[in-house]
Amino acid sequence: MKKILVAYDSRTGKTETMAEYVAEGIRISGHQAELKRITAIKTEKDLQGYDVYIFGSPTYHRDMIGTMKTFLFLVQKAKLEGKAGGAFGSYTHSGDAPQLIFDTMENVFKMDMVNLGSFNLREQLVDTTEGLRACQAYGKAMGEKLGQ
């Protein structure tokens, strides 16, 4: 059983809901998911002890939100090179944040990103059955890629 950190921030609650659903999918796949708002992670030591890191942010003005940018500077200090990762987020228009986070994790932090790519979901779909299933499917697929 792998220990997976799902770290996120949310402006309207939609990305938080996504994080909860992604964590459910991880648990369905037989792994342990720990859900944390990024503002609760204060030092790079708070990032130690996980096998996989999944980060989530809404897209705001075609970018990730400011707290996620600050958080990623902290993540860089944690030296997660080679660790598995993924990214997700909600959006209303462009949906750019998850891919920006994914690319940072892959190219700057040199993490081993899952071949699922980043996952984003239009805000209006988050609270629907379709949204729930899509988020759980991402978490479950992430867990299945890791094996037991």
Residue 116 has pLDDT above 90, yes or no: no
What pLDDT score was predicted for residue 64?
95
Q: Which of 70, 62, 65 is nearest to 92 (CA)?
A: 62
pLDDT of residue 134: 93
Percent of the chain with pLDDT over 70: 99
pLDDT single digits (tens) 73-109 = 999 999 999 999 999 999 998 889 999 999 999 999 9
Q: What pLDDT is recorded for position 148?
A: 60
Residue 38: both structure tokens together: 């990024």
Summarised one tens digit per residue, pLDDT across range 6-18 is: 999 999 999 999 9
Is the confidence at residue 122, as pLDDT, over 80?
yes
Categorize the per-residue pLDDT at 23 as very low, low, confident or very high, splitting at 50, 70 and 90: very high
Task: Quote the pLDDT of residue 105.
Answer: 96
62 alpha carbon, distance to own chain's centre: 18
Q: Which of 134, 118, 59 is nearest to 94 (CA)?
A: 59
pLDDT of residue 147: 75
Q: What is the dihedral of CA 144, 49, 104, 59, to 10 degrees?
A: 80
Residue (of 81, 78, 114) closest to 98 by Cα position? 114
